[in-house]
Structure 1
Amino acid sequence: MLLCANRNQLANAIVLASLLLLLNGKALGEPENLMEETWNSGWSFHLDNDFLALLNEDQQYTGGASVELSGRRAREWDFSADPLLAWIDRLTGMERRMASGDDDMRHSMILGLAAFTPEDIESPQPILDDHPYGSLVLFGNTRQSVDPSRNVAYRSSLVLGLLGTNLAESLQDFFHDLVDTQKAQGWDNQISDGGELTGRYEVSRHQLIQSTPLSENRRLESRWKINASAGYVTQVGVGATARWGKFDEQWFRFDPAPGEYVAYGAPATKPQSPSANREWFFWTSLEASLRLYNALLQGQFRDSAVTFSRGELRELITEASVGVTAELFSTGLRGEFSISYRTSEIKESLADDALWGQISLTRSF
């Protein structure tokens, strides 16, 4: 039964995370096929914050940041999680499915942080009817393979992390000092305060629906995806994306809002046929997820001041995003601004639906 709401299954994810600290990357075996991939194919930086959505209050997902490095280095560095991800892919059968594509597999590595607060950040006492304080420091790897004959892409990701550290509080205090706003007083009540290992494994299938030329320099493109994950967030979901503008025909290079809370997704790759005219496009996405477990609301093994039971949470979560992406200054550097909306997961609480903005930079080589 695929329910990480049963915490024994979450324990399995944590055991796998611990193995990475004990095993040398090569001990789990190299991938069966050597990848035709450059050492450094690009990088991405993402910054999320509710302030970017013109909100003056912290609540639910208040912000996060991540750096993603793409290329063969993400697979071969000694501290890479890719060997462990490849091992799990073999256990689940995902590696066999990904190997069916004609395209070489691409890799990326992410380091990120996400933070959550209730609406009332002035009280140092536990707030029992709002989103708990929470923080997640994460590190992980992503693998992607494309089958161009069927316009299908497969992707798997493994994220290892720590809940309940003081890093989010320190960074939030720094940011609030910059904008001269009230500091949060209740971080001692965060989920797994003091630190706790966690992890998440995700697989997804992406399918191009259409890519239609509208004029010499304009295209309309749509696609859909299905995904499933087990770990600190356990869910199954489906989503659709559409974009319009001038962009490279390699549809799998772009994936809006691909991660849970902190963006991670398609490894950066060079455009198929770079043009003197810079890329730009508008896009929108819609996702629906059947969520079975969320450690940032339900906690894990360590006692937390505020947690919610499965019955107090909604199972169906929807999210919508709109954004604009444009190539900046030189070929290969893209900037993006988007606003995302997500329905509240808590049935009866002070927590409103979440709204936040994101700024991203991506450089491809």
Structure 2
Amino acid sequence: MKRFIRLTINTVTWGLAALPLLVSAQEIDYNQLQIATLIEEEKRPYQEVVVLPYKEPLKSSWALAIDNDIFALGGRDQDYTYGFNFTYSGRKAQELWFSLDKPLSALDYLFGVDDQSEQNIDNHSIEVGLFGFTPEDISVAAANPEDRPYASLIYWSNSREQMDLNSNVSWKTTLTVGALGLNLVGEFQNTIHDKLNGNEAVGWDNQISEGGELTARYAIARQQYLGNLFGNMEVKSTLQASVGYLTEASWSLSFRDGKYHTPWSSFNPELASYGEKSTYNTSSRAIREHYFWAGMAVKARAYNVFLQGQFRDSPVTYDHNELNPIVFEAWLGYTIAFAEGYRLSYVLRGHSSEIKQGAGDRNLMWGGIILAKTFD
């Protein structure tokens, strides 16, 4: 509709310009100003017309993310070594029989973030995935207490976003449940390595919670749109806290610049935690875009199950006082989106060392590729 309006205005404008005998110079100047205004609007984010109370589409989008340290182009095969996740967004994510939306809503109510105002926009998503960690030398079968342990997680989660249009604030909550220590993650890694003639990771029997152990996490994030810098660079800040297998609080700044039209709240790279939440975009609008994005975060981490273990004994674990309580993270990425609804992203991420000393005292870095599809 917006394109039709622009086409109509431009047609009238050029029609008037072709009739100089009937149009004054002042009117021509006005039409030229109008064209310039339309061109300038094309650079700005798309402002979708929202009818309140808002009714979420049955299906909004899907996204597949693949993380691997080899995508960091450094020949690495250690630390956060790989991850896969699939995310589905829309009202159906709330209604599926295996959805965690009901317990998530109960937790949101308990923590006072369950705002049922008709002035809010509510969106939902469901995600399934897995990811794993390895020490630096994966050719050694014995446990190495000087390096980080093998660790893995297979999970599913539900997320809920509540967007306040008046204050430009978005609350996003997530409930994740999963299993630590299942053999599937290591077997999958070695299958891929075998296909690519890579080294076999032979120490997965020493992973955290070997044999399987249930775990969970609840996270709350408050995102605030801060405005634009240098004309078109979108800026937002995020405060996040979580309790569970990652217990931490964080603050981040994220930036986006280029030709983007999707709402600021639909793009969330700052919410990623290793393989979880790394699909980033839950837009419900198919539109052509291309933009760079970046950000930085500081995290105060109280507990990390992938290093400290959970209830079961594991060959290699770290005490809290052996870990750095503050972690600095940064990311840089690029996204291209097509009018047909597909979008492709690449991201380079990393963070400072989690372990204070020993062979495991090193910075982490990995890359990711995200393929997504928005439904009309």
Q: Does 1:155 align with 2:172?
A: yes
User: Which of 211, 218, 235 is matched with 1:194 structurally?
Assistant: 211
Residues 231-250 of structure 1 aligned to structure 2 (within 5 Å) = 231-248=244-261, 250=263
Structure 1 residue ranges (4+ consecutive) displaced by more than 4 angstroms after TM superposition? none
* Contact 2:272 2:280 (8 Å CA) reproduced: no
Aligned pair 1:281/2:291, yes or no? yes
**Structure with bigger gyration radius:** 2
CA distance in structure 2 between the partners assigned to 1:57 and 1:184 by the alignment: 13
Deviation at 1:312, TM superposition (A): 0.3
Which residue is equivalent to 1:79?
98
The alpha-carbon distance between structure 1 residues 249 and 361, as it changes in their structure 2 partners (threshold 3 A), is closer
1:332 equivalent to 2:334? Answer no
- 1:167 shift after superposition: 1.0
Match of 2:126 in 1: 109
Match in the other structure for 1:359: 369
What's the CA shift for 1:163? 0.2
Closer, same or farther: CA 101–340 of 1 in aligned 2, 3 Å: farther
8 A contact 1:252–1:266 mirrored in 2? no
Determine helix, strand or coil for the equivalent of 1:95. coil
CA pair 323-267 structure 1, distance change in 2 beyond 3 A: closer
Q: Partners of 1:348 and 1:340 in 2: how far apart?
A: 22
Q: Which amino acid in the other structure matches residue 357 of structure 1?
A: G
Note if 1:128 corresponds to 2:145: yes
State the alpha-carbon separation in 2 of the partners of residues 332 and 148 from structure 1: 25
Query: Take 1:103 and 1:267, find their aligned partners in 2: how far apart are those partners?
Result: 19
Matches of 1:331 and 1:35, distance apart in 2: 24
Distance (whole Å) between structure 1 residues aligned to residue 283 and residue 100 of structure 2: 20
Residue in 2 that maps onto 1:65: 84
**Pair 75,267 (structure 1): closer, same or farther in 2 beyond 3 Å:** farther
Cα deviation, residue 283, structure 1: 0.9
Shift of 1:38: 1.3
Q: Contact 1:46/1:263 (CA < 8 Å) preserved in 2?
A: no
Secondary structure of the residue aligned to 2:114 is helix
> For the structure 1 residues 176 and 146, does the alpha-carbon distance in structure 2 shift closer, same or farther, using more than 3 Å as the test?
same
> Is residue 2:240 matched to residue 1:223?
no
Provide the rounded CA distance (Å) in 2 between the counterparts of 1:132 and 1:55. 21
Distance 1:177 1:158 in 2: 35
The residue number in structure 1 matching 2:57 is 38
Inter-partner Cα distance in structure 2 for 1:237 and 1:360:
24
How many residue pairs get matched? Answer: 321
| Structure 1, 259-268 or 224-233: larger mean CA deviation | 259-268
1:348 corresponds to which of 333, 357, 371:
357
Bigger shift: residues 246-255 or 229-238: 246-255
Q: 1:213/1:319 Cα in 2 relative to 1: closer, same or farther (>3 Å)?
A: closer
- Matches of 1:312 and 1:242, distance apart in 2: 33
Point out where structure 2 has 5 or more consecutive residues left out of the alignment.
1-52
For the 8 Å contact 1:242–1:285, the answer to whether it is kept is yes
Amino acid of the structure 2 residue aligned with 1:220: M
Q: Partners of 2:358 and 2:103 in 1: how far apart? A: 39
Shifted more, 55-64 versus 355-364: the winner is 55-64
Residue 69 of structure 1: how far off its partner (Å): 0.5
Q: Say if 2:67 and 2:84, in contact at 8 Å, map to a contact too.
A: yes
Task: Verify the 8 A CA contact 1:71 1:267 in the aligned structure 2.
Answer: no
Partners in 1 of 2:229 and 2:200 — Cα distance?
49
Greater alpha carbon shift after TM alignment, 200-209 vs 260-269: 260-269
**Could you tell me how far apart the structure 1 residues matched to 2:118 and 2:221 are?**
14
Q: Is the 8 A contact 1:142 1:267 kept in 2?
A: no
| Identity among equivalent pairs (%) | 37
Alignment of 1:286-325 (within 5 A): 286-325=296-335
**1:270 equivalent in alignment to 2:284:** yes
Map Cα deviations across residues 70-125 of structure 1 (whole Å, 9 max, x no partner).
111111011101111011111111213xx357232100000010100000111110
CA RMSD of aligned residues (A): 1.7
| Higher relative contact order, structure no. (Cα contacts within 8 Å, ≥ 6 residues apart) | 1
TM-score by length of 2: 0.82
2:264 aligned with 1:251:
yes
TM-score for the superposition, normalised by structure 1: 0.85
